[in-house]
Structure 1
Amino acid sequence: MVPVRYTFWQLLVSPATFFDERPPAETLPIAAGLVVLYALALVGGILLVGSMLAGAIDATVTMDNPDRPPEGICEQHPDDPNSILGENCDEPETIERDAGALVREAVYDYLWVALVGPFVPWIVGGVVLYAAGRFMGGTPSFPGTLALAGWAALPEFLRLAAGLVGLRVALADVTITEPERGVAVLEAAMAPVEPVLLAVFLVTAGWQWYLLTGGLTREADISRGAAAIGVAVPLGMFTLLSIA
C-alpha cells in the first residue's frame, strides 16, 4: 500500500501522474469529502471572523427595544390592564447594545451560506470542466470532472488560512470605537496586507490550474496543452471577476 504522504506529495508535484494511476472518477468519494471538509472549515472561519471583529469593537449602539410593542399600540392601549396589547409598554423605547455582540450575532446569519456555498461552485465546476473537455475534443465523464472540481477545493484551504491570518494581523492593534466608521477603519487596517492576500489568491488560482490541467489531461484523454487552455479560460474568468 502506497503511503498517504507519498500520494499527497505526488498530487502536489505531478497531478497528471496522480490521476493516471487513479482515474478521477474513482476518487469522487474522496473529492466529495474534501468539499464537505472545506465547507466545515469555512463555517469555522466565519465564526472566527465574527469573533475577531467583535473583539476589535469597543462601542455601544442605541437601538429600538424589541421587548416593547410598537408606539402606535402603546398610544392606543396605555397601561390598560384588560388588554395584552399594552403589555410591556412601560419598557424603554430604546436600549443600549454592545456593538461587538451585534456583529457576532449578524455573522451567525451567514453560517448557512458558508455551509452550502462550496457545493455550488463544486457542481458548476464539474459541469464547466466536462464542457471544456468535450470542447477540446476529449471524452470526459461527468463523475470524473466532478471529482476534479472537488479536488480543486484543496488549494482553497490555503486561501482561507491566509485570509484569517491576514485579518488577525490587520486587527492586532485596531480598536473601533465609532461603529459608523467601522467599515472605513477596517478597510484602512486591511490595506497593508491586501498585496499579500492578492499574491496568495493568485498562487491559489495557479495551483488549481496546475491540478485541474493534469487531471483533465487524463480524464478527457487530451493533450496537456488542450487541457491547459480548457481549464485556463473559465478559471481565468472566475479569477478576474473575483479580483474585480
Structure 2
Amino acid sequence: MASKKKKLYSIPGHVKISSIYLDESGSRNSRGGFFVVGFVKAREPYHLDRAVRHLRQKHHFHDEIHFSKIRKGSLDFYFDLVETIAAADVRVGGSVYDSRNSFSQDLETWEQQSKMAAQLIRGNVNKGEVVNIFLDLVQTPQGESAARYVKESVNKRMGSRSVVEAYDLDSRSTDLIQLADIVASVINYERCHQEPSNSPKAKVTARLRRALELNSFDDIQKGKVNILTIE
C-alpha cells in the first residue's frame, strides 16, 4: 500500500512575498522616554544585503552596525549606509511608545514587545501579500518564542496565513536586522533630542532624514516611510 505523502504548503506564483526585519530602540523605563520598534521591509532583500556588504568592504567596516556605536571615525560608513537605505526599494519606519506608560503590568516584557511587533507588522502587510519576519532575539522563558508569538498573533488577527514564517535571530548575524536598529534609533534619537546638536549620532540622524526627504521623524505615512505613535 503506497504511503501518503505530506502535502507541503506552497505559495502561488502571483502572490507577493516580502521580508520584514525588526529591532528595537529603548527599553521599559519608569523614568520615561521612548521605546521604538523599527522595521525595514524589502521585497528583494538580497539586493540591499549585497549593497551593505559592498559598503563594509569599501570602508573596511567589520563591526556590528549599531546606532550606539556611531563615532566620528565611522561617520563616512554610516553616511553611505543611510543613503543606501533611503535609495533602496524598501519600506521603513516604526511604532513609537512611551517607555513608562505603554507597558502593561499584566504582561511580561517579552510578551509586550512581541505584541508591539505584531501590531507593527499588521500595519505594514498589504492585501494579498505574505511575509517572512526576522526579529532581533528577545530573551524569553524556556519553551517560549517571540517569533512564534508574533506569527500566531498576526495570522490570527488577520484571519489568514499572512506570515509564512518568523525567526528569532541574533542581530549580529544579519545585517538587515542591524539596519532596523538604525531606523528605530534615529526615530528615537530625534524624539528625545529636540535641541540642535553636532554629535556624530545627530549627523547620521539628519542624513537619513534628508535622504528620505522628510522634515522630521514625526508621525507620517508617505511613500516608503510609515511612523506612528501608539497611545
TM-score range, shorter chain: under 0.3
